Amino acid sequence: MLQILLRAASALVVSTIACCSWGQTTTLAERTQMTQRVDELLEAGRDDWKMAPPASETELLRRTYLDLTGRPPTGRQVIAYLETQSPNKHAELVQRLLSGPQSAEHLAAVWSRWLLPDEQTDNPFLQNAIGLPAWLEEKFSENLRYDRLVSDLLVASGSPERGPTGFFVVLGGEPKRIAAKTARVFMGVQLDCAECHDHPFDQWSQQDFWGYAAYFAQVSTSSAQPGMQNQGAVVDVAEGDVTLPESDEIVLPKPLVDTGLSVLDSGTRRQQLTLWLTARENPFLARATVNRVWALLFGRGLIEPIDDMRSIDIASHPELLEELSEYFSQSGYDLRNLIETLANTRAYRQSTRHPDGQPAPELYAVMATKPLTERQYALSIGSVARQVGPQSQAAQRALQQQLGNLRGDASEAKLGVVNALVTLHGQLVDAVSRGESSRLLKALEAPFLNNEKRVRWLFLSTLCREPTENEMTSILASIPETDSANADEESSDRNWQSDLLWALLNSSEFAMTP
């Protein structure tokens, strides 16, 4: 009975810390002030470089959709945006997208990719992670405080089918693997480098690693067996310890840094960990989250790699990272507000082209051109295909698996031979661009559309912009004349639409976030 009461009390403390009233809301004035402050601090660190000119409306529109929802705008959405007369239409767009279901779905996919192991295809437990993306999507949809989201994930119990416990199952329930992954994602620390010996480049000792791993030593996933989908449940047990490698020395749970909390010896070990990790006095969570969100929008973190934040002093803009982290925690760990603040900066709205050359990327004097991720690419193809439903979703998932990883660290393109073969000759791309199977091309057969309008819609549907005057002139000049009385000849000559669509889908512009 005493143990039950202690666990209940600890859970209440976790809930109280995560739901306390300080800084839960941010006013428009405060958000605007922070947006301007970001630009000021970036400007101060640019030396002689000036900021690049603003991106075009269509470039910024495509960028915002891809970054916030993982998919591009449709042609009609592009036209509607261009016709909007509001002087604040970009800010209104950002707010609307972040409040929509596609943003929650996108963020859930991003965080799932960060949380799940890289070797997913070889992992026999992967099928048990089915509940994690759905759970994350639900939490992002309701804009749950991020510190509370992290707490709820780390103390979660029950079936992987209905909650986030697949995270523990996929990692095999191994304390060292769970410790390494959570340290990287939630603290930006490569703590696993201290697993076998003291960290060669950071402050962490082997005792630090195993003291942190000990918080997960009493998590049981033994009932979740490979090949038995959704049959297991994650629970806390009363026993379980970790020992130093090649030693019998037991290492007890110990926080990485002292935050002054005196309640870390009550409740389950995982509850004790969340009390330390989400404490306001602990700088790791806010800094790591800000750095990841910054990388998500700007193509690289203020500290690179984003999971190796050894010291705030190695950031390209230490003061900016410090102030943004404090702003994030003061706002009540409001992730949506943080994204909205950064997406409205002049730095985010600038062009990818600089008139004076190519400044160093860490100056943020020009917007990074980010390769699409495999998910963004698949969703972009699906948007052009104009197909929805389970069959289309299955085809898009298959395309993602075939493509592999398209974007590396700091937005480096990872396109290889296999990726190129999939995009150039893949079944889905081929079906989308063939006249007999493409819904888009069939829609363009409407008699009230002339060739100029067809070219225009092909560009809007793929690149989210109108063709330039030179592009339009060149394309129209290359279209063969047809004899409208000869149906076979007309059908044959309209192959140019299929060829143009295929070329647009395989262009570097389609594969990038502008």
| Residue indicated by tokens 């330390």 | 276
Tell me what pLDDT residue 54 has.
98
| Cβ neighbours of residue 84 closer than 8 Å, sequence gap 6 or more | none
Strand 219-220 and strand 235-236: the pairing is antiparallel
pTM for the full predicted model: 0.89
| Cβ neighbours of residue 460 closer than 8 Å, sequence gap 6 or more | 75, 78, 79, 466
Paired strand residues for 371: 512
Task: Check: CB of residue 496 under 8 Å from CB of residue 478.
Answer: yes
Q: Where are the domains of the chain?
A: 102-277, 371-513
- Report which residue type is found at 14: V
Per-residue pLDDT of the chain (514 residues; tens, 9 = 90+): 434 433 444 444 444 444 443 345 789 999 999 999 999 999 998 888 999 999 999 999 999 999 999 999 999 999 999 999 999 999 999 999 999 999 999 999 999 999 988 654 445 555 657 789 999 999 999 999 999 999 999 999 998 888 899 999 989 899 999 999 999 999 999 988 877 766 666 678 889 999 999 999 999 987 544 444 445 689 999 999 999 988 899 999 998 887 776 556 778 999 999 999 999 889 999 999 999 999 999 999 999 999 999 889 999 999 999 999 999 999 999 999 999 999 999 999 999 999 999 999 999 999 999 999 989 998 999 899 876 544 566 766 777 666 667 666 666 665 554 555 566 656 667 778 887 788 899 999 898 999 999 999 999 999 999 999 999 999 999 988 764 445 555 555 568 999 999 999 989 999 999 9
